[in-house]
Amino acid sequence: MNIAVFASGSGTNFQALIDRVKDGYIPARIALLVSDNKDAYAVERAQKAGIETFILSPKGFKSREAYDKEIIKKLKSKEVGLVALAGFMRLISGHFAKEYKNKILNIHPALLPAFKGTHGVRDAIRYGVKVTGPTVHFVDEELDHGPIVLQDAVSVSEDDTEESLRNKVHRKEYEVYPKAVKLFVEGKLKIEGRRVRIIE
């Protein structure tokens, strides 16, 4: 199966996926990195790993859908079977979500449905939760809303800062995201309404 990873920043989750494909844990190929930021460190990671990069700035597109349609053309040309969002800082359009229904995964740094949006770690620590952690979920037309595949808990200590908690959550992300991608690639995820059943 060909995977396309979408990233806008440093691409640490992208690197975790690269590493687990390379060591054979994920039986698939990362065929493409898609980024909206030519200066993202993820682009350098892709170059080092010999992965093709598709950089597309949203400037000049009249709508999110027009932008996404251009990306979809590229994905079709690479026969992509899974889209893995890894710090992609753009909301995908409803058109994209429908085109790749149940074939888009995202990693979110909080235990959904709590603390949706771009500041999951900051919001969790400000709220004073004792437990947080990453969520891998399917992507649908709503923000951070699709069926949950995997979650893992991280304890929040009294002396945690936003940075220290982010580091703890990230370390868990690098475990759960490759695991979820592996399960998808192996055909072991079955969506039943809002529930995702893991087929052993």
pTM (2 decimals)?
0.96
20-45 pLDDT, tens digit per residue, is: 999 999 999 999 999 999 999 999 99
Active site residues: 108
pLDDT tens readout for residues 143-199: 899 999 999 999 999 999 999 999 999 999 999 999 999 999 999 999 999 999 999
Determine the distance from the C-alpha atom of residue 144 to the mean position of all C-alpha atoms in its chain, rounded to a whole number: 11
Strands 189-192, 195-198: pairing is antiparallel
pLDDT of residue 55: 97
Q: Rounded to whole angstroms, how far apart are CA atoms 140 and 146?
A: 5
User: Are 169 and 132 contacting, i.e. CB atoms less than 8 angstroms apart?
Assistant: yes
Q: What is the pLDDT of residues 67-94, one digit of tens each?
A: 999 999 999 999 999 999 999 998 899 9
Q: Which CATH class is domain 2-198?
A: alpha beta
The per-residue pLDDT for 61 is: 93
Residue 102, Cβ density class (10 Å: 0-12 exposed, 13-18 middle, ≥19 buried): middle
Strand order, beta sheet including 104-108:
53-55, 29-35, 2-6, 80-85, 104-108, 135-138, 148-151
Please give the pLDDT value at position 47: 98
- Where are the domains positioned within the chain? 2-198
Evaluate whether 32 touches 51 at the Cβ level (below 8 Å). yes
CA distance 134 to 156: 13
